[in-house]
């Protein structure tokens, strides 16, 4: 092995502690690393302590929405609103308000997709057609019946698998496409003409704070909302229609409930940082570089592999790795060692996924920090194995 790691005679793996640590060892898949240069004192505080319905509050909320539209390159055909409950709240808001008008197909290849299946079956009492795939795989997207509304995760945060693009979504679909895009936006090109509903949270690719979701509606979704009333009651925080018309204020910064203006300012900081990089192209370039650096680390180690074997559908943000011979206890010790040394935080795989590592490679992570991670993975693997 290299990078200053010594190999005692007869040893199978390095045991010396590496000398160089990642400068920012934040590899959590949510909440994710803050943008480089972030500090709380850099946030605009003018709106703090003021009503979110005062002019300053509305102005900052609208500015945040405008920045998201600009960086995402979201067309004017689509509305964008800030809603309660992180990505989960946003996606459930969409399900509760729009499903039931026609058949439903749900795609599940990781834990959050399974969550939407559970909601559709047990909470909304629907009978969806379900396409499942094991962790690391995708179902056959060509078999989807688009006369149904279709629920899917664009980028599986807990499996490291993503859809390749939007080409599998027909332009002449009858049903609506519902994309949980929380680990995908700001990292991939998304053909918005193929997306009727999309949701995400700031805590993923932007490194923002939790508690708030973002709901994006295309014109077909708005039409559904204005012409369909679900059979079940809707709580106040889910209500997007007033007197048969879309509540347009929600998509101009007039939030349904009180938002955290501190979280809003935090998101604005990240969006302005992204804009300074060149917007979406700059964010994609950073994420691609990070994923490439991690690919190199994996390729150089025979005990490490990608859970998602197909590189064409492998996540470039939430990268999930398999460790040879590792069970849940091994991974727990592995991650704890790295955290204790301040070399990598929160890299254990998701609790419902196969035992392994999950390393965030989104744009707020620096490539040099990913590169510095390799020797530390060697050290932790050898230390736990030596046990």
Query: What residues contact residue 242 under an 8 Å CB cut-off, 6+ apart?
Result: none
Q: Which two tokens stand for residue 368?
A: 């040099």
Domain boundary among 276, 309, 329: 276
DSSP 3-state of 149: strand
| Same domain as 299, residue 254 | no
In a domain, 31, yes or no: no
Q: Which two tokens stand for residue 260?
A: 């955290």
| Same domain as 304, residue 162 | no
Alpha-carbon distance 117 to 108, whole Å?
A: 7
In a domain, 116, yes or no: yes
| Same domain as 248, residue 329 | no
Is the preceding peptide bond at 277 cis, omega within 30 degrees of 0?
no
Domain boundary among 243, 276, 309: 276
| Same domain as 300, residue 241 | no
DSSP 3-state of 106: strand
Domain coverage including residue 199: 40-276
* CATH code for the domain in which residue 317 is found: 3.90.1150.10
| DSSP structure string for 175-219 | S-EEEE-TTTTTTS---GGG-SEEEEETTSTT---SSEEEEEE-H
In a domain, 13, yes or no: no
| Same domain as 358, residue 335 | yes
CB neighbour class for 237 (10 Å; exposed up to 12, middle 13-18, buried from 19):
middle
Q: What separation in angstroms does the CA of 331 have from each of 336, 346, 355, 358?
A: 8, 11, 7, 11
pTM: 0.94
| Same domain as 259, residue 199 | yes
Domain boundary among 276, 301, 327: 276
In a domain, 17, yes or no: no
Spell out the per-residue pLDDT of the chain, length 387, in tens.
Answer: 444 444 333 335 446 899 999 999 999 999 999 999 999 999 999 999 998 988 899 999 999 999 999 999 999 999 999 999 999 999 999 999 999 999 999 999 999 999 999 999 999 999 999 999 999 999 999 999 999 999 999 999 999 999 999 999 999 999 999 999 999 999 999 999 999 999 999 999 899 999 999 999 999 999 999 999 999 999 999 999 999 999 999 999 999 889 999 999 999 999 999 999 999 999 999 999 999 999 999 999 999 999 999 999 999 999 999 999 999 999 999 999 999 999 999 999 999 899 999 999 999 999 999 999 999 999 999 999 998
């Amino acid at each position: 092995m290299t990078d200053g790691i010594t190999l005692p005679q007869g040893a199978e793996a390095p045991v010396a502690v590496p000398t160089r640590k990642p400068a920012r060892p934040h590899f959590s898949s949510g909440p994710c690393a803050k943008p480089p240069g972030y500090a709380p004192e850099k946030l605009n505080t003018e709106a703090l302590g003021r009503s979110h319905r005062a002019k300053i509050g509305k102005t900052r909320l609208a500015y945040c929405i405008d920045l998201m539209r600009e960086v995402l390159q979201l067309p004017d055909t689509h509305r964008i609103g800030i809603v309660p409950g992180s990505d989960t709240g946003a996606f459930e808001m969409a399900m509760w308000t729009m499903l039931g008008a026609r058949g439903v197909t749900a795609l599940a290849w990781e834990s959050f997709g399974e969550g939407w299946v559970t909601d559709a079956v047990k909470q909304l009492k629907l009978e969806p057609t379900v396409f499942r795939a094991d962790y690391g795989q995708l179902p056959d997207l060509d078999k989807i019946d688009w006369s149904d509304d279709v629920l899917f995760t664009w980028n599986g945060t807990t499996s490291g698998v993503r859809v390749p693009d939007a080409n599998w979504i027909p332009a002449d679909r009858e049903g609506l496409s519902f994309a949980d895009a929380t680990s995908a936006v700001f990292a991939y090109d998304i053909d918005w003409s193929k997306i009727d509903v999309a949701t995400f949270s700031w805590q993923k690719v932007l490194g923002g704070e939790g508690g708030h979701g973002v709901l994006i509606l295309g014109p077909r979704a708005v039409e559904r909302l204005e012409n369909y009333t679900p059979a079940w009651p809707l709580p106040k925080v889910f209500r997007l229609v007033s007197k048969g018309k879309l509540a347009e204020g929600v998509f101009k910064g007039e939030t349904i409930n009180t938002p955290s203006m501190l979280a809003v300012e935090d998101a604005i900081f990240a969006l302005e940082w992204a804009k300074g990089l060149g917007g979406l192209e700059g964010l994609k370039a950073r994420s691609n570089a990070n994923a490439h650096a991690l690919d190199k680390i994996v390729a150089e180690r025979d005990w490490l592999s990608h859970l998602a074997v197909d590189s064409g559908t492998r996540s470039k943000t939430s990268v999930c790795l398999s460790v040879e011979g590792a069970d849940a206890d091994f991974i727990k010790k592995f991650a704890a060692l790295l955290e204790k040394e301040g070399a990598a935080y929160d890299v254990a795989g998701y609790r419902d996924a196969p035992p392994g590592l999950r390393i965030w490679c989104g744009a707020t992570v620096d490539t040099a920090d990913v590169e510095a991670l390799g020797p530390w993975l060697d050290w932790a693997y050898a230390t736990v194995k030596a046990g």
